[in-house]
Amino acid sequence: MNQKIILYLCLLAFGIAAPFLFPAFKLQISIMWILVVLSLTWDVQGGQMGYNTFGNIMFFGLGMYICSSFQIGLFFPLAEWTASGGEKTFVHTPTQFFQGFFIGLILAAIIPAIVAAIIGYGILGLRGHYFAICTLGLGIAAGEFAGGIELVGAGQGMTSPPWPKGIGDTELRSEFFYYICFLLMVFTFLFLRWAYSTRFGLVLNAIRDNEDKAEAMGINTMRYKITGWVVSAFFVGMAGGLMGNMIGYIEPVETAFAGRTFGVFMVLMAILGGKGTLWGPVIGAIAFHIFKEGFWTFFLGWQYVALGALIVVVVIFFPEGIMGWLREKYPERFGEIIDEEDRKAQVELK
C-alpha cells in the first residue's frame, strides 16, 4: 500500500514539475493529458461496459463549441464575432476572459452530459454491431451539422477567445492551460478509480460479461449504462472545451468532431494500453502520444496509413494490450495466484 502511495506521489510530482523540466514540450504534454482523459473515458464504455462506441468524439466537439460560444456570447454578440473572424473587433478583458472560461468550461461539461443522458436512453438499448455503427453515425452527423450552422462559423469554423493582453506572455498562457489539463486528468483518473471500486464498477463489468444475466439478477442495467455514458460525456466535454481554448481555432471536421484523429486515437489508445483496466488507458495514451510525436515525422504523409495499420495490428495481435500482456507475464503482481498443476491440466485439455 505504501509503495502505491509513493508511486502516486512521484507521478503527481512529475506532472507538476513537467512544464519546468520540459519547457519546450508544454503544449505537447498538455495534449497528452487530454488524450489520457479521452482514452480513460472511452474505456468506461469500451472496456468496462463492453459497448464499443465510436461516438464519444461527439461530446468532445460539443464541449469545444459550447465552451467557446459561451466565452464569447456572454460578453459580445456571437454572430458578429464569427463573421468578423473574432479578435479583430472584440477584445476580452482579463476578468471577462477568466469568467467566460470557467463558466464555459462548466457548461461544456454539463450540456454534453445532458445530451448523453437523452440520447443514451435511445441508443444504449442497442447492442453489438448496431451500437457501434449507430455511434459512428452520430459522431459524423454531429460534425456535418456543426459545419452547417452559420452562428458558429459553419464549415470555416470559429476562433476561440485569445489570451487577454496585459497579464503575462504566451509562456504564462501555456502554463495556465497545462495545469488545467493536468488537474482535469488527475480528477478524471481519481473519479474513475473511485467509481470502479464501487457497485457501479461491478455492475458495468457485469453488463460487459453478460447483460441479460445482469438484468435477470434484478439490476436496472439501462440506468447504469446511461450513468456511465453521462460520466464519459461530462469529462470528454470538459476536455473538448479546454482543447478548443488551447489550440485557439475550432473547425468542425478537423478539430471539433475529429473522428479521423481524436475519435480514432481514443479507441486505439485504450486498446493499446489494455481495455478494461484502470491503468491501461493511461499507459496506452502516453505510449501512443510519445510514439505519435516521436515517429510521426519519419512517416511524412504516411502517418495516417501507419495509424490504420497500427489499429489492425494491435486489434488482431494484441487485443489485450500492454496491461494484458503484463498480466500474462507477471500474474503475481496483479494479485493472481497461479495453480501450476491446474494450468498444466488446462493446457493438456486444449
Partner 1 sequence: MDLLIFQIPILMVQASLDGILLGTLFALIAYGMALQWGVMNIINIAQGELVILGGYIAYFMYVAGIHPAFGVIVSPIIMYFIGWSLYKTIIFRVVDRDLFISILATFGISILTQQLMNFIFGSDVVVAQSNFGTTFLFNYMVTLPNAKIFAAAISIIFAVLLVLYMRRSKLGRAIRATAQNARAAKILGVDTESVYAATFGINAALCGVAGSLIAITFTLHPYVGLPYTVRSFMIVIVAGLGNLPGVALSGMGLGVFEEFSDYIFGTEFRIAAVFLLLVLILVYRRFKLSRKREYLK
Which residues contact partner 1 by CB under 8 A?
46, 50, 52, 54, 122-123, 125-126, 128-130, 132-134, 136-138, 140-141, 144-145, 147-148, 260, 264, 267, 271, 301-302, 304-305, 307-312, 315-316, 319
Contact 113, 230 (CB under 8 A): yes
d(CA 335, CA 207): 24
State the helix-helix crossing angle for 26-43 and 170-197, rounded to 10 degrees.
Answer: 20
Cβ-based nearer residue to partner 1, 106 or 126: 126
Minimum gap (Å) between residue 192 Cβ and partner 1: 20
Cβ-based nearer residue to partner 1, 77 or 319: 319
Minimum gap (Å) between residue 214 Cβ and partner 1: 15
Minimum gap (Å) between residue 344 Cβ and partner 1: 26
Cβ-based nearer residue to partner 1, 74 or 311: 311
Cβ-based nearer residue to partner 1, 197 or 220: 220
Q: CA dihedral defined by 66, 69, 75, 78, rounded to 10 degrees? A: -150
Minimum gap (Å) between residue 43 Cβ and partner 1: 13
Minimum gap (Å) between residue 97 Cβ and partner 1: 33
Cβ-based nearer residue to partner 1, 109 or 314: 314
**Phi, psi (deg, nearest 5) at residue 158:** -140, 165
Contact 72, 100 (CB under 8 A): yes
Minimum gap (Å) between residue 64 Cβ and partner 1: 18
Q: Which three cell numbers stand for residue 230?
A: 453521462
Measuring CA to CA, how many Å separate 146 from each of 59, 69, 78, 253? 12, 13, 15, 8
Contact 161, 100 (CB under 8 A): yes
d(CA 96, CA 243): 19
Strands 249-250, 158-159: parallel, antiparallel or unpaired by DSSP? antiparallel
Minimum gap (Å) between residue 263 Cβ and partner 1: 10
| 3-state DSSP assignment of residue 159 | strand
Cβ-based nearer residue to partner 1, 145 or 249: 145
Cβ-based nearer residue to partner 1, 137 or 168: 137
d(CA 238, CA 184): 8
Residue 166 per-residue DSSP state: T
Minimum gap (Å) between residue 117 Cβ and partner 1: 15
Residue 320 per-residue DSSP state: T
Cβ-based nearer residue to partner 1, 290 or 312: 312
**Phi, psi (deg, nearest 5) at residue 24:** -75, -20
**Phi, psi (deg, nearest 5) at residue 223:** -65, -40
